[in-house]
Amino acid sequence: MSRDMICVYHAADVEQAEVLVTWLAEHGIEALVKDTYAATMLPTPLIVAPRGIEVCVMDPEQAERAAALLREQFAEASAQRGPEPPGGTIEATCEECGQSARFPASQRGTVQSCPHCGRYVDVPLA
């Protein structure tokens, strides 16, 4: 095995990298987490690369497809953060943990629990 691995993505952490590897495998692309792979050869605990965890693909032909899939995936994710249609969901910011969460519009003006910390959150009217 002397083929070069092609890095298609720098994940923020090992967990995200592993999710991506699994996700790529579901699309028929053989990928691996480079730094975890290297770390298994070392006696010391996992060393996290300062620029992120590299997700690599073995096959150059698959690398292009992987990159296209990833672009598609992230474009979709950012589109979902766009404005909601009326009657969709309402964003509420938790006063306890400062994180925001979305609730169905039918719950506007009510008190719900925060999905992040479990405390009460006031869902705004608009």
Using CA atoms, how far apart are residues 117 and 98, in angstroms rounded to an integer?
Answer: 10
Contact pattern for Zn ion over residues 39 through 78, marking x by CB under 5 A: ----------------------------------------
* # residues contacting Zn ion (CB under 5 A): 6
By rule CB under 5 A, what string of x and - marks binding of each residue 82-121 to Zn ion?
Answer: ------------x-xx----------------x-xx----
For residue 107, the minimal CB distance to Zn ion (Å) is 16
List the structure tokens of 25: 């495998």
Cα-only R_g, the chain: 20
Residue 10 phi, psi (nearest 5)? -105, 110
How many CB atoms lie under 10 A from the CB of residue 9? 20
Whichever of 60 and 104 has its CB closer to Zn ion, that residue is: 104
Give the residue with the Cβ less far from Zn ion, 13 or 95: 95
CA distance 111 to 119: 10
Q: How far is the CB of 95 from Zn ion (least distance, A)?
A: 8
Residues lying near Zn ion in the complex (CB under 5 A) are found at 94, 96-97, 114, 116-117
